[in-house]
Structure 1
């Protein structure tokens, strides 16, 4: 017979924070101290440029002694790891702010070591990180709309790819990047319609369908690329690119202005999408019904919510959002469509969704983390740092694996995600 003491002990075991996070932070702190601090180049100076030429207020470049800065930052990093350990031993979880500060300081320590005797622009690094996070964030938001309604969307990669294809073709035909921007969501809808048909109507395994649709998207776009776009590149695969839009006054704010308010329209659409989705998900009847279907579809059906209709709508809407993110690859960045050009970004978007704990703001922050890793490998590759080029190419994917496996821990997604609902 279960006693009150047994229940209390069981609850204590369930809620006790894990030591995994403090241990990971401690190991990273030691690595930073030894590699980036004590073994840093003696006498070297690292220069960080703070302002761009277009800024109204110019801030002088920051010159730091490489080894001394690395040691000082590493000591602060280790202090944060120790504080995290103390909190966990006291039965409290490591706060999010501590993880954020730790991550910023660790990256700054790494940058100080990697850019020794060279200079780099902090504004350019952050600006590029935000831009590269755009397709990941749109893909994660699209997946969020699906999974919150109970449908796992592995097909984000295919939706990004078809969105990129549609944006390139229609922008080229119309000679207008904004036409491509409008077309992209409807091409993502092609994959979304098939995903909804097989998973919602015919109850096929959602993981298998998603993988198959990704392969289908690769085959379809590769076929049309080889048969149409390659021989008619000037008319079908030469889209104009989206221009940079400066927000008056806001874009002149030092550091923050160029990063947040000197971007293309895709970035501003992302801001709006995150705000609207956050409000809609947690503050409206639509969001409540969606979450009910994703958690307890049978209970939702009992109170009169049409589970199948809700899932159809969310899968289609989510696929359009992901398709919009695909426009980044053509009209937002490269300026032409290439075979398999999304290069696994759909899977990283899925990781951002999980790391962000199925929350729009969390998904955006996770996408920014992966976008920063992508931009960082580009910057360090140009600077010819001592880090092997092969490692730099792996960096975004290493960060993805580490973030999801090392920091997420046990997370609970929507309870009914991946489970088909058969009425009655």
Structure 2
């Protein structure tokens, strides 16, 4: 009985760990797309955040400086995406794909320079800390009160984002920009400025997911380590209906799926491991297929806005 409970607790804990980077990226994508800017560059932002946090930690031996570096570089990628899409009117899909490709190649090249030919360098990690009293509660204590600071930050960000979007004036403005930007412009609010802030915020949040990968989950940087998590985050964003809580729960579903396939492999079940690796992506695809007609995106999503038009 205790073994079964321990296995179940470990499984849930692994599900949370695997869901965190997806949730950060999905939350970031939500801000951008609520503002009307399609952001499929989440994969590149995750990967850049993972590399920049690893590199900064490698040189300083301070993981919190690594987290700051990830936020800064993620914000810069968000600024680039906003400049291309909002100011220049570049196709938002093309801009996102370009950022993903550049991030993949550039992080691989720089990793070989920074880490002296090998990317698997052990890094100073962000450790978990126990909340006195609460950490000793069976199951719940291990799941929620023995986590690292980034997990607690994610919970705070989901809570804050829910309040911000649905119960605050700036949140209402952001949602209005994503639905009907012309009406917002008539009130004297700059649609371009709101979209810039939304996309930059998106980059900062997504890069936090990359920092979590490097400094908490894996504790080193490896080329292409995000392995499509940014695209799963897009699925979580759609599955969660562009709602902060929905994005978090959808990310937890995909994290649980990935944790399940890892445990099936560990049990030695006679199933080709390639099929098990596919499992999270298949679940993401099925979730999207099931919501094609049920999940309505912001009305102005992906549509360039020109004030003169």
TM-score, with length taken from structure 2 = 0.96
Residues 13-72 of structure 1: CA distance to partner in whole angstroms, max 9, x if unpaired?
xxxxxxxxxxxxxxxxxxxxxxxxxxxxxxxxx996214xxxxxxxxxxxxxxxxxxxxx
Alignment of 1:288-303 (within 5 A): 288-303=172-187
Q: Quick one: distance in 2 between partners of 1:47 and 1:254? A: 11
User: 2:167: which partner in 1?
Assistant: 283
Q: Does 1:396 align with 2:280?
A: yes
Which of 231, 236, 239 is the matching residue for 1:347? 231
Which of 136, 146, 150 is the matching residue for 1:266? 150
Alignment of 1:204-223 (within 5 A): 204-223=90-109
Q: Quick one: distance in 2 between partners of 1:306 and 1:400? A: 36
CA contact (8 A) 1:167 1:179 kept: yes
Residues 191-210 of structure 1: CA distance to partner in whole angstroms, max 9, x if unpaired?
21110110010111101100
Q: Does 1:143 align with 2:29?
A: yes
Q: Quick one: distance in 1 between partners of 2:114 and 2:27? A: 32
Cα RMSD (Å): 1.7
Q: Does 1:227 align with 2:97?
A: no
The higher relative CO (CA closer than 8 Å, separation ≥ 6) is in: 2
Which of 227, 244, 256 is the matching residue for 1:360? 244
Structure with bigger gyration radius = 1
CA contact (8 A) 2:18 2:259 kept: yes
User: 1:412: which partner in 2?
Assistant: 296
CA contact (8 A) 1:136 1:345 kept: yes
User: 2:307: which partner in 1?
Assistant: 423
The number of residues matched between the two structures is: 308
TM-score, with length taken from structure 1 = 0.70
Residues 299-348 of structure 1: CA distance to partner in whole angstroms, max 9, x if unpaired?
01011111000000111111101111110221112121111111110000
Q: Does 1:195 align with 2:150?
A: no
Gaps of 5+ in 2: none
Displacement of 1:190: 2.5
Q: Quick one: distance in 1 between partners of 2:47 and 2:267? A: 31
Q: 1:420 and 1:360, CA in 2 relative to 1: closer, same or farther beyond 3 A?
A: same
CA contact (8 A) 1:191 1:217 kept: no
Q: Does 1:377 align with 2:282?
A: no
Displacement of 1:410: 3.0
Q: Quick one: distance in 2 between partners of 1:373 and 1:145? A: 25
Q: Quick one: distance in 2 between partners of 1:48 and 1:379? A: 15
CA contact (8 A) 1:145 1:315 kept: yes
Q: Quick one: distance in 2 between partners of 1:409 and 1:376? A: 29
Which of 31, 38, 63 is the matching residue for 1:152? 38
Runs of at least 4 residues off by over 4 Å: none
Residues 118-176 of structure 1: CA distance to partner in whole angstroms, max 9, x if unpaired?
xxx00000001001101100000000000001100010000000000011011111112
User: 1:102: which partner in 2?
Assistant: none
